[in-house]
Amino acid sequence: MSEQQVRDFHEQHDLAPGDEEEVRVGPRLIGYVIGLGLSILLTATSFFVAGTDLVWQPSIPVALSVLAIAQMGVHIVFFLHITTGPDNTNNVLALAFGVLIVFLVVAGSVWIMHHMNQNMAPMEQIMQMH
Amino acid sequence: MTDATLSYAAHGDPHHLRGLQEGPLGHEGPAPKRIVTAYGFWIFLLSDIVMFSCFFAAYAVLLRQTAGGPSGSELFDLRSVAAETAFLLLSSFTCGLAMIAADVRDARRYQIGMAVTCVLGLGFLTLEAREFADLVARGAGPTRSAFLSAFFTLVGCHGLHVSIGILWLLTMMAQVYAKGFRADVCRRLLCFALFWHALDIIWVGIFSVVYLLGSAT
């Protein structure tokens, strides 16, 4: 497809996930370079935070989680091109549902298992009761 | 009478294809195949990510269940992990460049971009295989503790996805070489790019949660 054909195609329809609204090569290249630059920056910060004594130690898990979520956002916008544009609604809604399930599974498991570890007797004691 | 006519028309033309061909109402027909295919694949990718989230949850719960064996901070070599991250991140970038080349029908640059992506992916797999072999040789295989079982399942599953992705990548290079940028080949390319970028997103979770958090505790 020529650029004009691509543009006509996009004006009529929603965007497929992975397709960009931008069809010119120059701006698309810049988009990928920006995405790569931000990712490198966030990755380097993660590795620095994990290995340093300069940061208050209990804050490290939170800092790493925030950096990871930020980097996933960068990948989704600059590499997967899932944006908040009007032609992207279906893709964003599917993503939102996925994120909801991921959050429920991970946070729910960690929460429940943490409480079980706190409230149940250690396994050695349970074995002795029998 | 009108209802009967309409139901007959709907029966004869269940997908309203006539409406699509008539022009002014065209955009109200079924979505183009490129969108349907990519959207379906996007749903599959999200379900894949949900599957990975279960492995992440298992790892987070079992992180301290080392059964007297080695913990993450004693096992992980963060320099190797940084190199793996660099390989996968750069391969995501070159994959994007190859997709731009494919969209402007530049076969030579497309093949170069895909080849570089393949080499970077293989570099990632080599480092990961070396790490796994090293862990097993030190007696820290998947059978040593619940923590290591969760670790090998999560990271190994990602490695398996990368291996499948490389096979798919080589297939796409061959298909473009043999068939050119046909519409169906281009749809597969779009799906492949989504798959490869999604693998990189999962790796972001793995190096943050498994390696950096795992070696911090």
CB contact under 8 A, A109 and B200: no
Reported ipTM exceeds the 0.90 cut? no
* A51 at interface of B, judged by CB pairs closer than 8 A: yes
User: How confident is the model over A28-48, as pLDDT tens digits?
Assistant: 999 999 999 999 999 999 999
pLDDT band at B166 (very low <50, low <70, confident <90, very high): very high
**The pLDDT of residue A32:** 95
Select the CATH number that applies to the domain covering B37-61+81-216 from these four: 1.10.1740.10, 3.40.50.300, 1.20.120.80, 1.10.390.10.
1.20.120.80
pLDDT in tens, A47-88: 999 888 888 888 899 999 999 999 999 999 999 998 888 888
Residue range B9-40, pLDDT digits in tens: 444 445 555 544 544 555 567 888 999 999 99
pLDDT computed for residue A86 by the predictor: 81
CA B109 to chain A, closest CA, distance in angstroms equals 13
Query: 3-state DSSP call for residue A85?
Result: coil
Around A81, how many Cα atoms within 13 Å sit in the side-chain half-sphere? 24
Q: What is the 3-state secondary structure (H, E, C) of chain B?
A: CHHHHHHHHHHHCCCCHHHHHCCCCHHHCCCCHHHHHHHHHHHHHHHHHHHHHHHHHHHHHHCCCCCCCCCHHHHCCHHHHHHHHHHHHHHHHHHHHHHHHHHCCCHHHHHHHHHHHHHHHHHHHHHHHHHHHHHHHCCCCCCCCHHHHHHHHHHHHHHHHHHHHHHHHHHHHHHHHHHCCCHHHHHHHHHHHHHHHHHHHHHHHHHHHHHHHHHHC
Is the Cβ of A102 closer than 8 Å to some Cβ of chain B? yes
- When pLDDT is averaged across residues B131-153 and rounded to a whole number, the result is 94
| pTM, 2 dp | 0.85
Does the structure show a pLDDT above 50 at B72?
Answer: yes
Mean pLDDT across the stretch B187-191? 95
Nearest residue of B to residue A31, measured between CA atoms: B96
Spatial contact of A7 and A23, defined as CB atoms under 8 Å apart: yes
Domain ranges of chain B: 37-61+81-216
Q: What is the pLDDT of residues A8-35, one digit of tens each?
A: 555 556 888 888 888 888 999 999 999 9
Q: Do B42 and A91 touch (CB under 8 A)?
A: yes
